Chains A and B, each alone.
Chain A
């Protein structure tokens, strides 16, 4: 499923545009129509109704219905009550993104430049774990990180973890799980970017007496930047909304905003939940726009 690798890599070389003509243009709109309608009906309209729901009177219920108030009180109340899980979500996703980059870069680099004829196999191995349900894999981490498990014992043996230390039900466990779940989303775009680099540029760095590190810093990394941007976005965004890892590997102390949104929706508290959901989307959009502008890659899609 190397297809995922193309998420981030827009087709830079596109065939020459076919001749313009009103008939061809009409064909294009006809081809877009069914899928476009589906996205409008079930992606755009829902977002609008989510925003509408965030302005409902919180005293309503599913049975008696909600009334529209047009007041922004839900936002004020929700932010007052849920500022901490909000901040925690953004912090955990930031950590997750950093760890994914730290782990994903060497792996993507190894596949692109060092794997030789094992390249395709290694790429397949990155995606293969994906097919076992991610809930089952996350549950497996519970066993891997358990108090008397192999990992904890090993970390205790080398004194990274104190004798009464534990991993399960800690921040470390939640971030480990998040990093694990979103790592392929970092590796694939990074690989796609690295693979396109002309190897002669890296050799030229060496020929000009740059150290391996300088070559990496001034040649390889900047050229891999589109992959870095796409990869960090593809890990940060889903991580910020995730609540599975916090639920299965953490305690209520590691609660993320997704846990609260899910819980409130399940309890039928739609207005508050909707307000939190809209705030999450807005916060992510602002952060992403800021980041993409700073990183200087507009051609993301």
Chain B
């Protein structure tokens, strides 16, 4: 016991940091636990018994899998559009000097710095005053998601681009590569991790968004909207199955990326 006490004393900040991590993970443990819950009543908020039923019947709650598939479709399309448009913008911002560059920079940052409720309600105001009030659904959600993902893509790709050594491209040009060849053989492979990170970020932002989506969804139900709806009535444990699955997927991606990075690093030495 005194040993632990001494370790804590010597590594106080690390210890506090670990406690904060525990705070970040506390609800995750609950989500995982509750995905195996066999609730006694519909409005049960406690762990009543262990079962695998939720994992073997994830689509049982009416509408859950439809909502997940809607979210997946919107997330994929929004990610493709936002990543493509955002990457182009990032290239313009890092590789070009033009009039109004600082203002453009601020302009791209603004959507990230606006509360979601303002973004969502202003889009709704636009759709309603444009006479689209009755047509809210897949397309209006998609438009909204591309809008708020764009800024995050630009910032992410920009960070990768501006950390890159431009001498590699100059060397390629010196060796008589055309601009096109230089781009596809040198620049693109080097920026690609940044673009991939931006795409992953976009997808998770889109898949998880509730506030903006809820205002512009009409009758379309995305996964977060399904969760919100059931929070008012009863919470099917299958929701926690989806949550756990998403967490595991992210963990695999993050750990996989880290492993790949370490392999590359050890190969480089």
Interface residues of A (CB under 8 A from B): 1-4, 6-7, 9, 11, 13-18, 20, 24-25, 27-29, 31-32, 34-36, 38-39, 42-43, 45-47, 49-50, 52-53, 62, 66, 103-104, 106-107, 109-111, 113-115, 120-122, 124-144, 146, 180, 183-184, 233, 237-238, 240-244, 248, 258, 261-262, 265, 270, 273-274, 277, 280-281, 284, 288, 300-301
Residues on A with C-beta less than 8 A from B99 are 25
Residues on B with C-beta less than 8 A from A125 are 21, 24-25
Residues on B with C-beta less than 8 A from A128 are 28, 247, 250-251, 254
Report yes or no: B31 in contact with A27, Cβ–Cβ below 8 A: no
- Bound Cα distance from A301 to B164, whole angstroms: 19
Report yes or no: B198 in contact with A136, Cβ–Cβ below 8 A: no
Contacts A243-B211, A270-B128 given; indicate if A28 touches B25 (C-beta within 8 A). Answer: no
- Bound Cα distance from A75 to B113, whole angstroms: 23
Report yes or no: A110 in contact with B17, Cβ–Cβ below 8 A: yes
B114 CB to nearest chain A CB (Å): 7
Residues on B with C-beta less than 8 A from A109 are 13, 17
Contacts A6-B155, A35-B154, A301-B109 given; indicate if A110 touches B13 (C-beta within 8 A). Answer: yes
Report yes or no: B92 in contact with A11, Cβ–Cβ below 8 A: no
Task: Supply 28 A–B pairs (Cβ within 8 Å), ascending by A.
Answer: A1-B197, A6-B159, A11-B158, A25-B98, A27-B92, A28-B92, A28-B97, A38-B150, A43-B110, A43-B111, A43-B122, A45-B126, A103-B20, A106-B16, A110-B16, A120-B258, A132-B27, A137-B27, A137-B28, A139-B227, A146-B46, A183-B23, A237-B113, A241-B118, A243-B117, A244-B211, A258-B115, A280-B117
A94 CB to nearest chain B CB (Å): 15
- Bound Cα distance from A7 to B156, whole angstroms: 8
* B209 and chain A: residue at smallest CB distance: A134
* A68 and chain B: residue at smallest CB distance: B129
B177 part of interface (Cβ distance < 8 Å)? no
- Across the interface, B96 reaches (CB within 8 A) one of A25, A34, A115, A144, namely A25
Residues on A with C-beta less than 8 A from B91 are 31
Report yes or no: A241 in contact with B115, Cβ–Cβ below 8 A: yes
Report yes or no: A39 in contact with B150, Cβ–Cβ below 8 A: yes
Residues on B with C-beta less than 8 A from A3 are 152, 155-156, 159-160, 194, 197-198, 201
- Bound Cα distance from A136 to B114, whole angstroms: 24
A260 CB to nearest chain B CB (Å): 10
- Bound Cα distance from A106 to B24, whole angstroms: 14
Residues on A with C-beta less than 8 A from B46 are 143, 146
* A53 and chain B: residue at smallest CB distance: B125
Known contacts A42-B123, A107-B16, A183-B24; can you find 20 more A-B pairs with CB under 8 A? A3-B194, A29-B98, A34-B85, A43-B119, A49-B126, A110-B14, A114-B17, A121-B258, A131-B246, A132-B28, A132-B31, A132-B250, A143-B34, A144-B27, A180-B27, A241-B118, A277-B117, A280-B117, A281-B115, A281-B118
Residues on A with C-beta less than 8 A from B28 are 128-129, 132, 137, 140
Residues on B with C-beta less than 8 A from A139 are 227, 231, 235
Residues on B with C-beta less than 8 A from A120 are 258, 261
B8 part of interface (Cβ distance < 8 Å)? no
Contacts A38-B85, A45-B126, A47-B122 given; indicate if A140 touches B16 (C-beta within 8 A). Answer: no
- Bound Cα distance from A11 to B247, whole angstroms: 31
- Bound Cα distance from A258 to B119, whole angstroms: 12
- Bound Cα distance from A17 to B162, whole angstroms: 11
B102 CB to nearest chain A CB (Å): 9
* B112 and chain A: residue at smallest CB distance: A7
Report yes or no: A122 in contact with B24, Cβ–Cβ below 8 A: no
- Bound Cα distance from A20 to B94, whole angstroms: 14
Residues on A with C-beta less than 8 A from B197 are 1-3
Report yes or no: A114 in contact with B20, Cβ–Cβ below 8 A: no
- Bound Cα distance from A103 to B261, whole angstroms: 29
* B21 and chain A: residue at smallest CB distance: A125
- Bound Cα distance from A9 to B45, whole angstroms: 41
Contacts A6-B156, A114-B13, A261-B117 given; indicate if A133 touches B223 (C-beta within 8 A). Answer: yes
